[in-house]
Chain A
Amino acid sequence: MRLVPAVRAETAAKVGGLVLLLVVELAVFTVLSPDFLTSSNLFNVMALDTENGIIALGMAIVIASGGIDLSVGSILALSSVTMGYAVQHGQPVAVAAVVCLLTGLVCGLVNGVLVVVLRLHPLLVTLGTLALYRGLALGISNGNGFSGFPVSFQYFGQTYIGPVPAQVIVWLLIALAVYGVVNATPAGRRLLAVGINELAASFAGIRVGAVRLAVYGTSGLLTGVASLIYASRVFSDRGDTGTGLELLAIAAVVVGGASIRGGEISVARTTLAVIVIGVIPDGLQLAGIDTSWQYVTIGVVMVAAIVINELFAGRASALWRRAPWRRTEMEDAWTDPAGVA
């Protein structure tokens, strides 16, 4: 889609901001540790980021549609646990992998059905299924981990093509596919239409419910893919994996500069943001800094990224005007109680 100059400039500025952040991070970590800026370490970082990267792509789609999916961490756990369950019950790895993907898809579709049919707010639906899927994962695994996967299971998360971890290639292929769907297909147009103005979308003949269902199904399926790669990489499954993953995925989308209110998506910026966030734990570890500082650093980088985005997008003044310590709407209402002046 051709963009007008102003929009193009804004997009370029947002990408530029993320690249700038990444360069700063790389420079700092390179100074702190000589082992950081090596190809094997960087590929390792990418491999570790793959699961979050794939889930963040699904999240970007959900957020673009005007929704949110808090249940991805629990879906990751549940689909890896059902896969382990299948292997334990004598199924071949290929069947177990399909079970894993299907579990993700079904979980996502259940979210979609609840949002579409019962017209519930996605925040509430997925907050509920976050607990539900997590509970199922813990119940099915009996709270125990499973690590009896056959050696062939390594295929999904421990293969290298040359020096490149295979899952990184899978991640980039999925990103390309999502990019293509979002930017070049009718489905991508409808996704943004629903995110921008649901009512107008329905008047334009778009089946809003079908779009939403597809959106949550996609998020679930991509989480299933991430789950497969994750379980193969760590070679085990546990009911308590993936806790807090939803926050990292949402953070990647927002740091990538998409509006949390929907109607926008950028595959490239979301992917870049995953790397910007994902480099931090590795860099700190190599620098010998106590890992308890990880979250502090991640938090600082996230806030910095959001501020940079807002500055580049020329929204800083708008932010300032809306600041909570300034006059709020409610105060206005009470100083003008009839609300008529």
Chain B
Amino acid sequence: MLALRGIRKVYGATVAVDELTVALAPAQVHALVGENGAGKSTAAQIASGVTRPTAGHVEFGGREVTFGSARDAEALGIVLIPQELQLYESLSVAENMYVGRPRPRGRGRLVAGHTMRRRAQEQLARLGVTIDPASRVQELTHGNRQLVAIGRALMLDARVLIMDEPTASLDEWEAQRLLGVVSALRSSGVAVLYVSHRLPEILRIADVISVMRDGRLVRSAPGHDFDEASLVTSMLGRPLVRHAGRRTSARDEVAFESAGLTRTGVFGPVDLTIRRGEIVGMAGLIGSGRSEFAQTVIGRDKLTGGQLTVAGRPVSIRSVRQAVQRGVGYVPEERQAQGLFLALSSKSNVSMAALDRIQSWGVVSPRRESRYVRDALARLAVKGDINAPVSTLSGGTQQKVLLGRWLALQPSVLILDEPTRGIDVGTRFEIYRIIEQLTDSGVAILLISSDIQELLALSDRVVVMRAGQLVGEFSGDDLTEMNIGAAALGADASHGGTR
């Protein structure tokens, strides 16, 4: 029905997709799986006309087609439902479902609202759900918004539905309901391209599974030819790499202990200890509760149970300020949104968490501030004018400035949340070196990362969080991509330390 033939897509120097050939058939769910950056989303965007391939072509009904935009694809009944739903939150469900097609007119050419609502309701009923078409999208749960987006696609008489990570932000119940809807669509003859990294649901729903790695199709076969282990192996590809064994700096004393830390409905109970000089990696999918755990540790969110121990003393941390006083630091995941003050200088950004330490008689001492900041940034090899606004710096340098803020505080426990996301390779290895130096001086590190290679390169141990629970802990010979990936995805590990 819809086919991609020999597709290649190049962004600058990066080849996102190469020689990809995938064919969808009516009444079939075709799953596209792969690691982050494997090229799944790019493939979905090309199939739906959002982006154009650099080479290769798209066929629809046996004929080659060229899409100028998503509108062209929608006119043929090919509809993309992106991961970030593009709905108008302040408009009604019915209005949203009519976006992109003419609204029914009543007397005097006025839009006939009641007709819109009735037709919207009919489409939603086809999906087996009751959502009031007059309610506004912002009032709906994420699962219901997903259904509205599907409803809009049905309004457009979709014959091919392309879903990019549809269950990523859904809870278990909503995900199950969505899978039911997808089955129903299949029965009615729709071809579904289903992009996801949730392996259990893919094995349940997919008629055909195509595995992508580094932009290429590595295996395409009927769904029942796969099991979780073989799927993970195809996705990761390389013969399973063992951790080379970083020279550990871990000492015996426990620096940090979380005993049954819980935030009801979000994560927990979490039991975790980190020794001085140890790097504990924390793996898990987006939304598994890793950042939430970290933000509760530093007192930004309220814990509902459990006890923290820092340097052997039980502590309660109810604010970031207290965390700093107790020697616990957190470098947040979103560098620009959560970390930096872009309009301010590197100097102000570094000193912002230490104003109490560089003041005398209630006045910031310029001399002490400069010395404090220079000391911090010298260790990070940050070059350039420390009075220049950080908005003028490169992403890598911005990250180093943010790290500098926390290193300068000399924490005994440092939580790094995705410290190298979006950072070029050179700076990435510099940051690795900085992290290892920190552990030499006895700092305990919790490294939250979605990059398994990074976890393997740095960690003494890796714990895996899934749905708010620590579901695995791996070290030594068990510290492999396979084990971490399987635990994070919820597949059974073939061996290893799953608790």
Contacts and interface: CB of A to CB of B under 8 A. Distances in A.
Interface of A: 1-4, 7, 184-186, 189-190, 192-193, 196-197, 199-207, 263, 333, 336-341
B332 interface: yes
A341 B70 contact: yes
B293 to A, nearest CB: 15
B320 A337 contact: no
A205 B325 CA distance: 10
B341 A340 contact: no
Contacts of B269: none
B320 A203 contact: yes
B332 A340 contact: no
B319 A339 contact: no
21 contacts: A3-B387, A4-B385, A4-B387, A4-B389, A185-B363, A186-B364, A193-B352, A197-B340, A199-B338, A203-B300, A203-B330, A203-B332, A204-B320, A206-B321, A207-B319, A263-B343, A340-B70, A340-B80, A340-B82, A341-B69, A341-B70
A203 B339 contact: yes
B218 interface: no
Given A1-B348, A200-B337, A338 B364 contact: no
A1 B320 CA distance: 26
Contacts of A199: 337-338
B353 to A, nearest CB: 5
B69 A184 contact: no
A38 to B, nearest CB: 40
Nearest to A259: B343
B364 A185 contact: yes
B99 interface: yes
Q: Tell me whether chain B's interface is mostly helix, strand or loop, or mixed.
A: mixed
B86 A339 contact: yes
Contacts of A197: 337, 340-342
Contacts of A205: 319-321, 323-324, 353
Contacts of B69: 336, 341
Given A185-B362, A338-B71, A207 B321 contact: yes
Given A185-B363, A204-B352, A341-B69, 13 more contacts: A4-B345, A4-B389, A186-B359, A186-B362, A196-B341, A201-B352, A205-B353, A207-B319, A338-B74, A338-B86, A338-B100, A339-B86, A340-B48
A337 B343 CA distance: 34
Contacts of B362: 185-186
Contacts of B345: 1, 4
Contacts of B197: none
A4 B388 contact: yes
B221 interface: no
A184 B364 contact: yes
Contact of A204 (B70, B80, B342, B405): B405
B225 interface: no
B355 interface: yes
B336 to A, nearest CB: 8
Contact of B50 (A2, A200, A341): A341
Contacts of B343: 196, 263
B356 interface: yes
A337 B324 contact: no
B344 interface: yes
Nearest to B386: A2
Nearest to A339: B86
Contacts of B364: 184-186, 189
- Residue from B340, B352, B356 whose CB has the most chain A CB atoms within 10 Å: B352
User: Which 9 pairs show the lowest CB-CB distances between chains A and B?
Assistant: A186-B355, A337-B100, A205-B320, A339-B86, A337-B99, A341-B69, A205-B321, A340-B70, A204-B353
A189 B387 contact: no
Interface string B208-229: 0000000000000000000000
Nearest to A197: B341
Interface size class of B (residues with CB under 8 A): 35 or more
Contacts of B342: 196-197
Nearest to A196: B341
Nearest to B300: A202
Nearest to A180: B363
Contacts of B355: 186, 189-190
A338 B99 contact: yes
A341 B342 CA distance: 29
A199 B334 CA distance: 10
Nearest to B355: A186
A184 B86 contact: no
Contacts of A204: 320, 352-353, 405
Nearest to B323: A205
Contacts of B387: 2-4
B359 A200 contact: no
B198 to A, nearest CB: 23
Given A184-B363, A186-B356, A205-B320, A340 B340 contact: no
B319 A200 contact: no
Nearest to A1: B348
Nearest to B70: A340
B163 to A, nearest CB: 14
Contacts of A192: 341, 344
A193 B80 contact: no
A217 to B, nearest CB: 18
Interface in B57-82: 69-71, 74, 80, 82
B300 A200 contact: no
Contacts of A203: 300, 320, 330, 332, 338-339
Contacts of B74: 338
Contacts of B351: 189
A128 to B, nearest CB: 24
A299 to B, nearest CB: 30
B352 A189 contact: yes
Nearest to B385: A4
Given A205-B319, A205-B321, A337-B100, A189 B348 contact: yes
A338 B319 CA distance: 42
Contacts of A333: 88
A200 B340 contact: yes
A311 B82 CA distance: 41
Contacts of B330: 203
Contacts of A337: 71, 99-100
A196 B344 contact: yes
A340 B50 contact: yes
A192 B385 CA distance: 21
Contacts of A202: 300, 320
A204 B74 CA distance: 46
Contacts of A206: 320-321, 352
B71 A341 contact: yes
A220 to B, nearest CB: 22
A296 B97 CA distance: 49
Contacts of A7: 389
Interface string B82-119: 10001010000000000110000000000000000000
A177 to B, nearest CB: 12
A205 B342 CA distance: 17
A200 B339 contact: yes
Given A185-B363, A186-B364, A192-B344, A340 B339 contact: no
B237 to A, nearest CB: 31
A265 to B, nearest CB: 12
Given A205-B319, A337-B99, A200 B363 contact: no
A203 B351 CA distance: 13
